[in-house]
Amino acid sequence: MTKAVSGFSKLSKEEKINWIADTHFSNPDEAIKTIKKYWNSDAELQKLHDEFIENTITNFYLPLGVAPNFLINGKNYTIPMAIEESSVVAAASKAAKFWSNRGGFKATVLSSEKIGQVHFMFNGKKETLEQFFENVKPKFFSATQSITKNMQKRGGGILDIELRDKTTELENYYQLHATFETKDSMGANFINSCLEQFAKTLKEEALQFQSFSEEEKNIQVVMSILSNYVPNCIVRVEVSCPISDLKEDKHISQEEFAEKFVRAVKIAEVEPFRAVTHNKGIMNGIDAVVLATGNDFRAVEAGVHAYAARNGKYSSLSHATAENDIFTFWMEIPLALGTVGGLTNLHPLVKMAMEMLGNPSAHELMQIVAVAGLAQNFAALRSLTTTGIQQGHMKMHLMNILNQFNATEQERKQVVSHFEKNTVSHSAVVDYLEALRK
Ligand code: MEV
Protein backbone atom coordinates (compact mmCIF):
# COMPACT_ATOMS: atom_id res chain seq x y z
CA MET A 1 0.00 0.00 0.00
CA THR A 2 1.26 3.52 -0.83
CA LYS A 3 2.05 5.76 2.15
CA ALA A 4 0.06 9.01 2.45
CA VAL A 5 1.88 12.10 1.18
CA SER A 6 1.81 15.53 2.77
CA GLY A 7 2.26 18.86 1.00
CA PHE A 8 1.75 17.21 -2.40
CA SER A 9 0.11 20.24 -4.01
CA LYS A 10 3.21 22.32 -3.14
CA LEU A 11 5.58 20.05 -5.08
CA SER A 12 6.61 21.09 -8.60
CA LYS A 13 4.99 19.29 -11.53
CA GLU A 14 8.20 17.31 -12.10
CA GLU A 15 8.38 16.32 -8.41
CA LYS A 16 4.75 15.23 -8.42
CA ILE A 17 5.32 13.03 -11.45
CA ASN A 18 8.44 11.49 -9.94
CA TRP A 19 6.64 10.75 -6.69
CA ILE A 20 3.70 9.11 -8.51
CA ALA A 21 5.98 7.10 -10.77
CA ASP A 22 8.17 5.88 -7.90
CA THR A 23 5.33 5.00 -5.56
CA HIS A 24 2.64 3.59 -7.88
CA PHE A 25 4.36 1.89 -10.81
CA SER A 26 6.48 -1.22 -11.24
CA ASN A 27 8.26 0.54 -14.10
CA PRO A 28 8.57 4.24 -13.13
CA ASP A 29 10.48 5.24 -16.29
CA GLU A 30 7.75 3.82 -18.48
CA ALA A 31 5.05 5.64 -16.49
CA ILE A 32 6.93 8.95 -16.79
CA LYS A 33 7.33 8.38 -20.53
CA THR A 34 3.58 7.83 -20.95
CA ILE A 35 2.73 10.89 -18.86
CA LYS A 36 5.09 13.11 -20.85
CA LYS A 37 4.05 11.73 -24.24
CA TYR A 38 0.76 13.58 -23.79
CA TRP A 39 2.30 16.94 -22.93
CA ASN A 40 1.84 19.66 -25.49
CA SER A 41 5.03 20.87 -27.17
CA ASP A 42 3.69 24.42 -26.96
CA ALA A 43 4.76 25.31 -23.40
CA GLU A 44 2.32 28.19 -23.08
CA LEU A 45 -0.61 26.03 -24.13
CA GLN A 46 0.51 23.33 -21.70
CA LYS A 47 0.68 25.90 -18.90
CA LEU A 48 -2.88 26.98 -19.68
CA HIS A 49 -4.08 23.39 -19.34
CA ASP A 50 -1.97 22.78 -16.23
CA GLU A 51 -3.67 25.68 -14.53
CA PHE A 52 -7.27 24.58 -15.20
CA ILE A 53 -7.05 22.28 -12.17
CA GLU A 54 -4.73 21.39 -9.32
CA ASN A 55 -2.04 18.70 -9.53
CA THR A 56 -2.12 18.42 -13.34
CA ILE A 57 0.42 15.87 -14.53
CA THR A 58 -0.57 15.54 -18.18
CA ASN A 59 -3.48 15.88 -20.61
CA PHE A 60 -6.22 13.33 -21.11
CA TYR A 61 -7.27 13.14 -24.75
CA LEU A 62 -10.78 12.54 -26.01
CA PRO A 63 -11.49 12.52 -29.75
CA LEU A 64 -13.18 15.67 -31.05
CA GLY A 65 -15.36 14.68 -33.98
CA VAL A 66 -17.86 16.63 -36.06
CA ALA A 67 -21.35 15.77 -37.24
CA PRO A 68 -22.28 17.84 -40.31
CA ASN A 69 -25.64 18.52 -42.00
CA PHE A 70 -27.70 19.43 -38.96
CA LEU A 71 -30.56 21.58 -40.21
CA ILE A 72 -31.96 23.42 -37.19
CA ASN A 73 -34.69 26.06 -37.62
CA GLY A 74 -33.66 26.36 -41.27
CA LYS A 75 -29.96 26.94 -40.50
CA ASN A 76 -27.22 24.45 -41.29
CA TYR A 77 -24.76 23.46 -38.55
CA THR A 78 -21.69 21.27 -38.21
CA ILE A 79 -21.75 20.09 -34.61
CA PRO A 80 -18.51 19.43 -32.68
CA MET A 81 -18.63 16.40 -30.38
CA ALA A 82 -16.05 15.28 -27.81
CA ILE A 83 -16.67 11.63 -27.02
CA GLU A 84 -14.89 8.30 -26.86
CA GLU A 85 -17.79 5.97 -27.77
CA SER A 86 -17.18 4.57 -31.26
CA SER A 87 -20.60 4.89 -32.89
CA VAL A 88 -21.95 8.17 -31.49
CA VAL A 89 -20.68 10.68 -34.07
CA ALA A 90 -21.50 8.35 -36.97
CA ALA A 91 -25.05 7.90 -35.62
CA ALA A 92 -25.51 11.66 -35.14
CA SER A 93 -24.33 12.37 -38.68
CA LYS A 94 -26.67 9.75 -40.10
CA ALA A 95 -29.67 11.10 -38.21
CA ALA A 96 -28.75 14.68 -39.21
CA LYS A 97 -28.65 13.71 -42.88
CA PHE A 98 -31.92 11.80 -42.62
CA TRP A 99 -33.79 14.76 -41.12
CA SER A 100 -32.13 17.41 -43.27
CA ASN A 101 -34.10 15.88 -46.16
CA ARG A 102 -37.33 16.00 -44.17
CA GLY A 103 -37.49 19.62 -42.99
CA GLY A 104 -34.80 19.45 -40.33
CA PHE A 105 -35.13 19.99 -36.59
CA LYS A 106 -37.39 22.62 -35.02
CA ALA A 107 -36.08 23.98 -31.73
CA THR A 108 -37.50 26.53 -29.28
CA VAL A 109 -36.26 27.77 -25.92
CA LEU A 110 -39.35 27.79 -23.69
CA SER A 111 -37.74 29.36 -20.61
CA SER A 112 -34.31 30.19 -19.20
CA GLU A 113 -34.71 30.71 -15.49
CA LYS A 114 -31.99 29.50 -13.09
CA ILE A 115 -32.41 28.75 -9.38
CA GLY A 116 -30.33 29.22 -6.25
CA GLN A 117 -31.07 28.71 -2.56
CA VAL A 118 -29.90 29.84 0.84
CA HIS A 119 -30.66 26.97 3.21
CA PHE A 120 -31.08 28.10 6.82
CA MET A 121 -32.40 27.07 10.21
CA PHE A 122 -34.78 29.32 12.13
CA ASN A 123 -36.12 28.38 15.54
CA GLY A 124 -39.17 30.52 16.09
CA LYS A 125 -42.54 31.74 14.85
CA LYS A 126 -43.08 31.36 11.13
CA GLU A 127 -45.31 34.48 10.98
CA THR A 128 -42.55 36.66 12.47
CA LEU A 129 -40.05 35.23 9.99
CA GLU A 130 -42.45 36.04 7.12
CA GLN A 131 -42.86 39.59 8.42
CA PHE A 132 -39.07 39.91 8.67
CA PHE A 133 -38.62 38.57 5.13
CA GLU A 134 -41.07 41.09 3.61
CA ASN A 135 -39.21 43.82 5.48
CA VAL A 136 -35.72 42.91 4.32
CA LYS A 137 -36.52 41.65 0.79
CA PRO A 138 -35.53 44.96 -0.90
CA LYS A 139 -32.21 44.79 0.99
CA PHE A 140 -31.34 41.49 -0.72
CA PHE A 141 -31.54 43.36 -4.02
CA SER A 142 -29.74 46.52 -2.90
CA ALA A 143 -26.91 44.65 -1.12
CA THR A 144 -26.12 42.69 -4.30
CA GLN A 145 -26.07 45.71 -6.61
CA SER A 146 -22.32 45.61 -7.21
CA ILE A 147 -22.66 41.94 -8.27
CA THR A 148 -25.79 42.38 -10.42
CA LYS A 149 -24.83 45.67 -12.16
CA ASN A 150 -23.13 44.09 -15.18
CA MET A 151 -25.64 41.27 -15.49
CA GLN A 152 -28.46 43.82 -15.50
CA LYS A 153 -26.75 45.69 -18.35
CA ARG A 154 -26.93 42.44 -20.34
CA GLY A 155 -30.65 42.08 -19.52
CA GLY A 156 -30.27 39.58 -16.69
CA GLY A 157 -30.24 39.66 -12.91
CA ILE A 158 -32.22 38.45 -9.91
CA LEU A 159 -35.81 37.72 -10.90
CA ASP A 160 -37.35 37.00 -7.52
CA ILE A 161 -36.62 35.81 -3.99
CA GLU A 162 -39.12 33.77 -1.99
CA LEU A 163 -39.13 32.53 1.57
CA ARG A 164 -39.95 28.82 1.63
CA ASP A 165 -41.06 26.89 4.68
CA LYS A 166 -39.57 23.37 4.66
CA THR A 167 -40.22 22.61 8.31
CA THR A 168 -42.59 19.73 7.57
CA GLU A 169 -39.63 17.95 5.94
CA LEU A 170 -36.92 18.99 8.41
CA GLU A 171 -37.35 20.76 11.73
CA ASN A 172 -36.62 24.52 11.61
CA TYR A 173 -35.56 24.34 7.94
CA TYR A 174 -36.35 27.32 5.69
CA GLN A 175 -34.97 28.59 2.39
CA LEU A 176 -34.50 31.73 0.44
CA HIS A 177 -35.44 30.38 -2.97
CA ALA A 178 -34.18 32.77 -5.62
CA THR A 179 -34.62 32.81 -9.40
CA PHE A 180 -32.19 34.36 -11.86
CA GLU A 181 -31.79 35.23 -15.54
CA THR A 182 -28.14 34.90 -16.53
CA LYS A 183 -28.39 35.52 -20.32
CA ASP A 184 -25.37 34.05 -22.17
CA SER A 185 -23.50 32.85 -19.10
CA MET A 186 -24.26 29.60 -17.32
CA GLY A 187 -24.34 31.83 -14.26
CA ALA A 188 -22.89 29.61 -11.53
CA ASN A 189 -20.47 32.25 -10.22
CA PHE A 190 -23.00 35.05 -10.50
CA ILE A 191 -25.70 33.07 -8.71
CA ASN A 192 -23.41 31.79 -5.95
CA SER A 193 -22.03 35.28 -5.31
CA CYS A 194 -25.55 36.69 -5.03
CA LEU A 195 -26.59 33.86 -2.69
CA GLU A 196 -23.61 34.34 -0.39
CA GLN A 197 -24.49 38.02 -0.12
CA PHE A 198 -28.15 37.14 0.59
CA ALA A 199 -26.96 34.88 3.41
CA LYS A 200 -24.86 37.67 4.89
CA THR A 201 -27.73 40.16 4.66
CA LEU A 202 -30.11 37.59 6.17
CA LYS A 203 -27.93 37.08 9.24
CA GLU A 204 -27.07 40.75 9.73
CA GLU A 205 -30.65 41.99 9.35
CA ALA A 206 -32.00 39.29 11.66
CA LEU A 207 -29.78 40.57 14.45
CA GLN A 208 -31.38 44.04 14.07
CA PHE A 209 -35.01 42.92 13.75
CA GLN A 210 -36.92 44.18 16.77
CA SER A 211 -39.79 41.65 16.64
CA PHE A 212 -37.43 38.67 16.86
CA SER A 213 -36.66 37.06 20.22
CA GLU A 214 -32.98 36.51 21.07
CA GLU A 215 -33.26 32.93 19.79
CA GLU A 216 -35.04 33.99 16.58
CA LYS A 217 -32.30 36.53 15.85
CA ASN A 218 -29.79 33.73 15.69
CA ILE A 219 -30.48 32.45 12.16
CA GLN A 220 -28.15 29.58 11.21
CA VAL A 221 -27.19 29.63 7.52
CA VAL A 222 -26.32 26.08 6.47
CA MET A 223 -25.27 26.78 2.89
CA SER A 224 -25.81 29.02 -0.13
CA ILE A 225 -25.64 27.35 -3.52
CA LEU A 226 -27.24 27.27 -6.95
CA SER A 227 -29.44 24.34 -7.91
CA ASN A 228 -28.52 22.24 -10.93
CA TYR A 229 -32.17 21.29 -11.17
CA VAL A 230 -33.52 23.84 -13.66
CA PRO A 231 -37.07 22.79 -14.61
CA ASN A 232 -37.75 26.33 -15.82
CA CYS A 233 -34.78 26.45 -18.19
CA ILE A 234 -36.29 24.34 -20.93
CA VAL A 235 -35.67 23.77 -24.61
CA ARG A 236 -38.05 21.89 -26.91
CA VAL A 237 -36.84 20.07 -30.03
CA GLU A 238 -38.88 18.24 -32.60
CA VAL A 239 -38.79 16.46 -35.94
CA SER A 240 -41.81 15.42 -37.96
CA CYS A 241 -42.69 14.18 -41.41
CA PRO A 242 -45.39 12.24 -43.24
CA ILE A 243 -45.11 8.55 -42.35
CA SER A 244 -44.70 7.79 -46.06
CA ASP A 245 -41.39 9.76 -45.96
CA LEU A 246 -39.89 7.52 -43.29
CA LYS A 247 -38.69 4.94 -45.82
CA GLU A 248 -35.07 4.08 -45.15
CA ASP A 249 -34.78 0.38 -44.59
CA LYS A 250 -35.72 -2.12 -47.25
CA HIS A 251 -36.69 -4.79 -44.69
CA ILE A 252 -39.47 -2.81 -43.05
CA SER A 253 -42.35 -0.64 -44.32
CA GLN A 254 -42.68 2.99 -43.24
CA GLU A 255 -45.88 2.21 -41.33
CA GLU A 256 -44.30 -0.70 -39.49
CA PHE A 257 -41.21 1.37 -38.68
CA ALA A 258 -43.32 4.25 -37.30
CA GLU A 259 -45.38 1.84 -35.21
CA LYS A 260 -42.32 0.04 -33.79
CA PHE A 261 -40.53 3.32 -33.10
CA VAL A 262 -43.49 4.86 -31.26
CA ARG A 263 -43.90 1.66 -29.23
CA ALA A 264 -40.19 1.70 -28.29
CA VAL A 265 -40.62 5.25 -26.97
CA LYS A 266 -43.79 4.26 -25.08
CA ILE A 267 -41.84 1.44 -23.40
CA ALA A 268 -39.25 3.99 -22.22
CA GLU A 269 -42.12 6.16 -20.93
CA VAL A 270 -43.51 3.41 -18.71
CA GLU A 271 -40.48 1.28 -17.82
CA PRO A 272 -37.68 2.90 -15.76
CA PHE A 273 -35.06 0.23 -16.57
CA ARG A 274 -35.51 0.96 -20.27
CA ALA A 275 -35.92 4.71 -19.69
CA VAL A 276 -32.45 5.01 -18.13
CA THR A 277 -30.78 3.43 -21.18
CA HIS A 278 -33.03 5.34 -23.57
CA ASN A 279 -32.05 8.61 -21.87
CA LYS A 280 -28.40 7.53 -21.76
CA GLY A 281 -28.57 7.41 -25.56
CA ILE A 282 -29.89 11.00 -25.55
CA MET A 283 -27.04 12.02 -23.23
CA ASN A 284 -24.51 10.48 -25.65
CA GLY A 285 -25.34 13.36 -27.99
CA ILE A 286 -25.87 16.01 -25.33
CA ASP A 287 -22.71 15.41 -23.27
CA ALA A 288 -20.50 15.29 -26.35
CA VAL A 289 -21.56 18.79 -27.43
CA VAL A 290 -21.67 20.12 -23.88
CA LEU A 291 -18.08 18.96 -23.41
CA ALA A 292 -16.86 20.27 -26.76
CA THR A 293 -18.34 23.69 -25.98
CA GLY A 294 -16.69 23.87 -22.55
CA ASN A 295 -19.88 23.52 -20.53
CA ASP A 296 -20.43 21.60 -17.31
CA PHE A 297 -21.69 18.16 -18.34
CA ARG A 298 -22.08 16.98 -14.73
CA ALA A 299 -24.49 19.84 -14.05
CA VAL A 300 -26.41 19.02 -17.22
CA GLU A 301 -26.53 15.29 -16.40
CA ALA A 302 -27.77 15.91 -12.84
CA GLY A 303 -30.46 18.35 -14.00
CA VAL A 304 -31.67 16.27 -16.91
CA HIS A 305 -32.07 13.05 -14.91
CA ALA A 306 -33.85 14.87 -12.09
CA TYR A 307 -36.23 16.25 -14.73
CA ALA A 308 -36.78 12.76 -16.12
CA ALA A 309 -38.03 11.74 -12.66
CA ARG A 310 -40.07 14.90 -11.99
CA ASN A 311 -43.40 13.04 -11.88
CA GLY A 312 -42.18 10.63 -9.21
CA LYS A 313 -41.13 7.89 -11.62
CA TYR A 314 -38.07 7.95 -13.90
CA SER A 315 -39.29 8.14 -17.48
CA SER A 316 -38.33 8.84 -21.09
CA LEU A 317 -37.27 12.38 -21.95
CA SER A 318 -38.48 11.97 -25.53
CA HIS A 319 -41.92 11.22 -26.94
CA ALA A 320 -43.28 10.10 -30.30
CA THR A 321 -46.60 9.81 -32.09
CA ALA A 322 -47.69 8.45 -35.46
CA GLU A 323 -51.12 9.95 -36.04
CA ASN A 324 -53.06 11.12 -39.10
CA ASP A 325 -50.20 9.96 -41.32
CA ILE A 326 -47.70 12.18 -39.51
CA PHE A 327 -44.73 10.91 -37.50
CA THR A 328 -43.64 13.31 -34.74
CA PHE A 329 -40.72 12.83 -32.37
CA TRP A 330 -39.86 15.42 -29.72
CA MET A 331 -38.45 16.18 -26.32
CA GLU A 332 -38.32 18.96 -23.77
CA ILE A 333 -35.28 19.07 -21.51
CA PRO A 334 -33.65 21.43 -19.04
CA LEU A 335 -30.23 22.75 -20.10
CA ALA A 336 -28.28 25.40 -18.21
CA LEU A 337 -25.54 26.38 -20.67
CA GLY A 338 -23.25 29.31 -21.24
CA THR A 339 -21.46 30.74 -24.23
CA VAL A 340 -19.48 33.33 -22.27
CA GLY A 341 -17.38 32.91 -19.13
CA GLY A 342 -15.94 29.71 -17.74
CA LEU A 343 -13.85 27.67 -20.16
CA THR A 344 -15.54 29.20 -23.19
CA ASN A 345 -13.09 32.08 -23.53
CA LEU A 346 -10.09 30.13 -22.32
CA HIS A 347 -9.80 26.72 -23.96
CA PRO A 348 -8.61 27.09 -27.58
CA LEU A 349 -10.61 24.06 -28.76
CA VAL A 350 -13.74 25.35 -27.06
CA LYS A 351 -13.29 28.69 -28.80
CA MET A 352 -12.90 26.82 -32.07
CA ALA A 353 -16.01 24.71 -31.40
CA MET A 354 -18.00 27.87 -30.68
CA GLU A 355 -16.83 29.47 -33.90
CA MET A 356 -17.72 26.28 -35.82
CA LEU A 357 -21.25 26.74 -34.48
CA GLY A 358 -21.28 30.41 -35.52
CA ASN A 359 -20.63 31.76 -32.00
CA PRO A 360 -24.14 31.01 -30.75
CA SER A 361 -26.01 32.69 -27.91
CA ALA A 362 -26.78 30.48 -24.91
CA HIS A 363 -30.34 30.02 -26.22
CA GLU A 364 -29.05 28.91 -29.63
CA LEU A 365 -26.58 26.54 -27.96
CA MET A 366 -29.42 25.04 -25.88
CA GLN A 367 -31.21 24.30 -29.17
CA ILE A 368 -28.14 22.78 -30.82
CA VAL A 369 -27.31 20.59 -27.82
CA ALA A 370 -30.87 19.34 -27.46
CA VAL A 371 -31.00 18.56 -31.18
CA ALA A 372 -27.83 16.46 -30.86
CA GLY A 373 -29.59 14.53 -28.08
CA LEU A 374 -32.77 13.94 -30.07
CA ALA A 375 -30.77 12.93 -33.16
CA GLN A 376 -28.81 10.42 -31.11
CA ASN A 377 -32.02 9.01 -29.63
CA PHE A 378 -33.54 8.73 -33.11
CA ALA A 379 -30.48 6.90 -34.44
CA ALA A 380 -30.40 4.49 -31.49
CA LEU A 381 -34.13 3.69 -31.70
CA ARG A 382 -33.96 3.27 -35.45
CA SER A 383 -31.19 0.69 -35.08
CA LEU A 384 -32.79 -1.01 -32.09
CA THR A 385 -36.16 -1.43 -33.80
CA THR A 386 -34.70 -2.60 -37.13
CA THR A 387 -31.23 -4.16 -37.43
CA GLY A 388 -30.30 -4.14 -33.73
CA ILE A 389 -27.63 -1.92 -32.22
CA GLN A 390 -24.62 -4.18 -32.49
CA GLN A 391 -24.21 -4.09 -36.25
CA GLY A 392 -23.34 -0.38 -36.41
CA HIS A 393 -21.65 -0.35 -33.04
CA MET A 394 -19.30 -3.25 -33.73
CA LYS A 395 -18.48 -1.90 -37.17
CA MET A 396 -17.12 1.23 -35.50
CA HIS A 397 -15.58 -0.79 -32.67
CA LEU A 398 -13.65 -2.84 -35.21
CA MET A 399 -10.97 -0.13 -35.34
CA ASN A 400 -10.50 -0.32 -31.56
CA ILE A 401 -9.98 -4.07 -31.77
CA LEU A 402 -7.49 -3.66 -34.63
CA ASN A 403 -5.59 -1.04 -32.63
CA GLN A 404 -5.57 -3.28 -29.59
CA PHE A 405 -3.82 -5.95 -31.66
CA ASN A 406 -1.49 -3.50 -33.46
CA ALA A 407 -2.81 -4.51 -36.88
CA THR A 408 -0.74 -3.40 -39.86
CA GLU A 409 -2.24 -1.36 -42.72
CA GLN A 410 -2.41 -4.51 -44.84
CA GLU A 411 -4.14 -6.50 -42.09
CA ARG A 412 -6.61 -3.66 -41.51
CA LYS A 413 -7.64 -3.64 -45.15
CA GLN A 414 -8.15 -7.40 -45.16
CA VAL A 415 -10.10 -7.42 -41.89
CA VAL A 416 -12.36 -4.50 -42.90
CA SER A 417 -13.09 -6.13 -46.23
CA HIS A 418 -13.84 -9.50 -44.59
CA PHE A 419 -16.22 -7.96 -42.04
CA GLU A 420 -18.19 -6.05 -44.62
CA LYS A 421 -20.02 -9.33 -45.21
CA ASN A 422 -19.55 -11.02 -41.82
CA THR A 423 -20.83 -10.23 -38.33
CA VAL A 424 -18.31 -8.36 -36.20
CA SER A 425 -17.62 -9.71 -32.74
CA HIS A 426 -14.49 -9.38 -30.66
CA SER A 427 -13.65 -13.07 -30.93
CA ALA A 428 -14.47 -13.26 -34.65
CA VAL A 429 -12.05 -10.39 -35.34
CA VAL A 430 -9.32 -11.90 -33.17
CA ASP A 431 -9.76 -15.34 -34.80
CA TYR A 432 -9.64 -13.84 -38.27
CA LEU A 433 -6.56 -11.76 -37.43
CA GLU A 434 -4.78 -14.78 -35.97
CA ALA A 435 -5.61 -16.84 -39.06
CA LEU A 436 -4.18 -14.06 -41.24
CA ARG A 437 -1.00 -13.98 -39.20
CA LYS A 438 -0.39 -17.74 -39.46
C1 MEV B 1 -25.42 3.20 -26.14
O2 MEV B 1 -24.40 4.08 -25.75
C3 MEV B 1 -26.76 3.90 -26.14
C4 MEV B 1 -27.96 3.00 -26.42
O5 MEV B 1 -27.99 1.92 -25.49
C6 MEV B 1 -29.19 3.87 -26.28
C7 MEV B 1 -30.50 3.12 -26.33
O8 MEV B 1 -30.54 1.92 -25.98
O9 MEV B 1 -31.51 3.76 -26.70
C10 MEV B 1 -27.89 2.40 -27.78
Digit-by-digit pLDDT tens for the chain (438 residues) are 778 999 999 999 999 999 999 999 999 999 999 999 999 999 999 999 999 999 999 999 999 999 999 999 999 999 999 999 989 999 999 999 999 999 999 999 999 999 999 999 999 999 999 999 999 999 999 999 999 999 999 999 999 999 999 999 999 999 999 999 999 999 999 999 999 999 999 999 999 999 999 999 999 999 999 999 999 999 999 999 999 999 766 778 999 999 999 999 999 999 999 999 999 999 999 999 999 999 999 999 999 999 999 999 999 999 999 999 999 999 999 999 999 988 888 999 999 999 999 999 999 999 999 999 999 999 999 999 998 877 777 777 888 889 999 999 999 999 989 988 888 888 999 999 999 998
Q: How distant, in Å, are the alpha carbons of 4, 31, 36, 273, 320 from that of 20?
A: 12, 9, 13, 41, 52
- Report CA(277)–ligand 1 centroid distance (Å): 6
Active-site pick, 181, 196, 296, 364 = 296
Looking at residue 343, its pLDDT comes to 83
| Residues with Cβ within 8 Å of residue 255, at least 6 apart in sequence | 243
Residue 83 sits at φ, ψ, to 5 deg, of -165, 150
Burial string for 100-126 (b: 16+ CB within 10 Å, else e) reads beeebbbbebeebbbbbbbbbebebee
85 is catalytic: yes
Residue nearest to atom 2 of ligand 1 (CA): 281
Residue nearest to atom 10 of ligand 1 (CA): 380
Q: According to DSSP H, which parts of 144-213 are helical?
A: 145-153, 188-208
Determine whether the shortest distance from the Cβ of 91 to ligand 1 is under 6 A. Answer: no
Give just the sign of the alpha carbon dihedral 8, 10, 16, 19. negative
Q: In angstroms, rounded to a whole number, what is the distance separating the alpha carbons of residues 160 and 91?
A: 42
Determine whether the shortest distance from the Cβ of 80 to ligand 1 is under 6 A. Answer: no
- Report CA(405)–ligand 1 centroid distance (Å): 27
Q: Counting beta carbons within 10 angstroms of the beta carbon of residue 350, is it exposed (0 to 12), middle (13 to 18) or buried (19 or more)?
A: buried
Q: How distant, in Å, are the alpha carbons of 121, 318, 344, 366, 371 from that of 107?
A: 42, 14, 23, 9, 7
Looking at residue 134, its pLDDT comes to 98
Q: How many CB atoms lie within 10 A of CB 392?
A: 20
Can you list the domains of the chain with their CATH numbers? 8-50 (no CATH), 64-111+234-387 (3.90.770.10), 114-227 (3.30.70.420), 393-437 (no CATH)
Q: Counting beta carbons within 10 angstroms of the beta carbon of residue 2, is it exposed (0 to 12), middle (13 to 18) or buried (19 or more)?
A: exposed
Contact 91, 380 (CB under 8 A): yes
Determine whether the shortest distance from the Cβ of 380 to ligand 1 is under 6 A. Answer: yes
162 is catalytic: no
Looking at residue 388, its pLDDT comes to 84
pTM tops 0.85: yes
Looking at residue 391, its pLDDT comes to 75
280 is catalytic: yes
Active-site pick, 85, 216, 256, 301 = 85
355 is catalytic: no
Q: Which ligand 1 atom lies nearest to the CA of residue 274? A: 8
- Report CA(261)–ligand 1 centroid distance (Å): 14
Contact 217, 226 (CB under 8 A): no
Q: How distant, in Å, are the alpha carbons of 132, 152, 184, 322 from that of 118?
A: 16, 22, 24, 46
Looking at residue 394, its pLDDT comes to 77
Looking at residue 420, its pLDDT comes to 84
Closest C-alpha among 43, 38, 46, 94 to residue 62:
38
Three-state secondary structure readout of 236-269: EEEEEEEHHHHCCCCCCCHHHHHHHHHHHHHHHH
Residue nearest to atom 6 of ligand 1 (CA): 281
